[in-house]
Amino acid sequence: MEQKIIIFDTTLRDGEQSLQVSLNVKQKLQIAFALEKLGVDIMEVGFPISSPGDFESVHTIAQKIKNSCICGLARCIDKDIDVAAEALKIASNFRIHIFLGTSNLHIQSKLKKNFKQIVEMAIYAIKYARKYTDDVEFSCEDAGRTQIDNLCYIVEAAIKAGAKTINIPDTVGYTIPCQFKKIIKTLYNRVPVIDQAIISVHCHDDLGMAVGNSITAIQAGARQIEGTINGIGERAGNTALEEVIMAIKIHKPLLKAYTNIKHQEIYRTSQIISQLCNVPIPINKAIVGNNAFSHSSGIHQDGVLKNRKNYEIIEPSSIGVQEAKFNLTSRSGRAAVKHHMNKMGYQDSDYDMNKLYEVFLKLADKKGQVFDYDLEALAFINNQEEQPEYFHLEYYNIQSRSFNLAVASVKLKCGNTTHSKSATGNGPIAAIYEALNNITGLSINLEKYQLTSKGHGRDALGQVDVVVTYKKRCFHGVGLAIDIIESSTKAMVNALNNIWLVQQVEIKRQKLQYNNKNIISGK
C-alpha cells in the first residue's frame, strides 16, 4: 500500500534565516504563494518571537494562504508559544512547531540542564501549545547525536504529552544514511506509542547526505520530510525538497510512497526562490540546475536524439522545463549539429554537412561554445573567421550625475562609417547600452547581465556575459577588460556583431532563394 509523504517546507524559516539580507513581507508572501501553488502540505514561515518583522510576515502569510497548513517556530518558552499562536491564529489551519536540544552536547553546553529537566520542559511546552491548537510538532534538536535510549524516551514522552508530529532532525548533518535509517527504525521498534504520531525528519547537508538520509528515513517509516527549495539553509543547507520529491516519483514502486506535489511547478518555484533570495542555483544542481537537462558529449546527444531515455531519467517537461539543451562544443557530434540546423528550419539540402561540421569543429575549438546563429554563419557565409567585425568600438566617455543618472558618449564604427551618439541612463552601463541602441537602431532587450572576476588583485579582469533578445531570438555577448564599464561595452558590441551576422545570413538566403526561383522558371 502506498503511503503519502507529507512535504514540510521551511524555505521561509530555516532557508531565509541563512540569507545575508532578510526578505521583506512582500517577498516572503510571493514565495508563499509559489509554495502553495507547488502543493506543499505545510509551510513553516518564520520564528514569530525573533522580531516584529518576522511576526508581521508570519501573520500576513497566515492570513493569505488557504491551501497549505501554516507553521510557526517556537522554543519551549511560554512567551515564544504565545507570540507564535498570536501570529498564526488568523489562519484556518495552523501548526505550532516547538524544539529543544536533546543531545548531551546541547543539554550540557548550551542549555546548562540535565536530561530529566529537558524531558519536563518538552512535556510542559507541548501541553501549553495545545491550548492553542491540536496540531503541535516537537523537534528533538540534534537528534542525530542524541543517545538512542534518551531519544526513545523523550519521543515517547512527547507523544504522550500530545505532540501529533515528532521531528527527528540531523541538525548538523552528522549522520550517514545507514546510521540515520537505524535511528528511525529503532524508534519504531522501541517506542510503544509511535503509531500515534507522524515521524518527520529534518536533515542538513554538511556531509552532502541530507537527501540520502531523508530517503532512507522514508524506507524506515518516516512520513514527513522537511527541507527547502534549492536546499538553501544554515551552513551547507537543508534537504533539497525538489530532489526528494522527484526521487519519490521516480522510485514510487520501490518506496511505495507518493506526494501531493504538482511536479510541473518545481522549476518555476525554484527560479522564484533563487531570484528573490539572491542565491544562484549551481549549474550542476540536481533537478533544477541549468545542466540538469543539458548534453554536451556527442555520444550523449546522439543517444538522446534517438531516445531521450538513453540519458534522461526525468522528462524535462514534468518539472516545468521546456526542453533539453544541446550545448554545441568541440565534443558535439554531427547529430547535434544537424539537430540545431533542423530546429532553425533548414533542410539537409540547404547546406553541406561535411563542410559545415569541419568548420564547426574549428570554431568550437577556438570559441568554446557555438550558438545556433554561429552555425548559420558557418553554413552560409564563407570564411566566417576572416570576416571583420561590422561594429567596432572606437571611443566612449562617461559623465556621472546626481541621483545615479549618467551620460554616455559613444563612437562606434559601423562597417566603413563611424557614428557618434549620446544617451542617459540609470548608471554608466545603462547609458552606454542606450547610446549603442541609438546608433545601431536595433530594437534589442537585455535579458541577462553577469559579471565574473578573472584573477585577483588590482589587475584582475572582469568578464561580462550578456544575453539579449532581438526579434524573439537570443544572442550572447562576452567582454573582457580590467575596467568593468569597458568589458560591459565590449560584451554588448559582441552581441550586436552576432545579430549583424545573422542579418547577413538572411540576406544571403533570400538571394539564394531568388536565384533558385529564377533558375526553376527559366529566367
Confidence of residue 290 (pLDDT cuts 50, 70, 90): confident
pLDDT band at residue 239 using 50, 70 and 90 as cut-offs: very high
pLDDT in tens, 97-120: 999 999 999 999 999 999 999 999
CA distance 207 to 262: 29
pLDDT, mean of residues 337-342: 82
Backbone angles phi, psi at 330, to 5 degrees: -65, -15
Read off the pLDDT of each residue in 76-95 and give the average, rounded to a whole number: 96
What is the per-residue burial (b if ≥16 Cβ within 10 Å, else e) of 173-202? bbbbbeebbebbeebeeebeebeebbbbbb
pLDDT tens sequence across 184-203: 999 999 999 999 999 999 99
Asked if 3-277 and 391-509 have one fold, the answer is no
What's the confidence (pLDDT) of residue 303?
Answer: 77
Across the range 316-339, mean pLDDT stands at: 82
Phi first, then psi: what are they for 112, rounded to 5°?
Answer: 55, 45
The predicted model gives 75-97 an average pLDDT of 97
Q: What angle do CA 342, 316, 18 make, to 5 degrees?
A: 130
Q: In which band, very low, low, confident or very high, does the pLDDT at 367 lie, cut at 50, 70 and 90?
A: confident
Asked: is 391-509 a CATH 3.30.160.270 domain? The reply is yes
Place of cell 535509517: 181
Predicted pLDDT at 369: 79
Boundaries of every domain in the chain: 3-277, 294-381, 391-509
Residues, the chain: 523
Distance from C-alpha of 403 to C-alpha of 349, rounded to nearest angstrom: 57
Q: What is the pLDDT of residue 412?
A: 93
Q: Which CATH fold would you assign to the domain 3-277?
A: TIM Barrel (3.20.20)
SS3 content of the chain, % helix, strand, coil (to 5): 50, 20, 30
Phi, psi (deg, nearest 5) at residue 9: -95, 125
Asked if pLDDT for residue 51 goes beyond 70, the answer is yes
Q: What is the pLDDT of residues 294-325, one digit of tens each?
A: 776 777 777 777 877 887 888 888 999 877 67
What is the arithmetic mean of pLDDT over 221-240? 97
Quickly state the pLDDT bin for 437 (edges 50, 70, 90).
very high
What pLDDT shows up at residue 229? 98
Which DSSP letter does residue 196 get? G
Q: What integer pLDDT is reported at residue 124 of this predicted model?
A: 98
| Res 426 pLDDT > 60 | yes
C-beta separation of 311 from 349 below 8 A: no
CA angle 149, 155, 159 (to 5 degrees): 150
Reported confidence tier of residue 403, pLDDT bands at 50, 70, 90 = low
Helix (H/G/I), strand (E/B), else coil: 462: strand
What gap in Å lies between CA 120 and CA 322, rounded to an integer? 54
| pLDDT averaged over every residue in the chain | 90
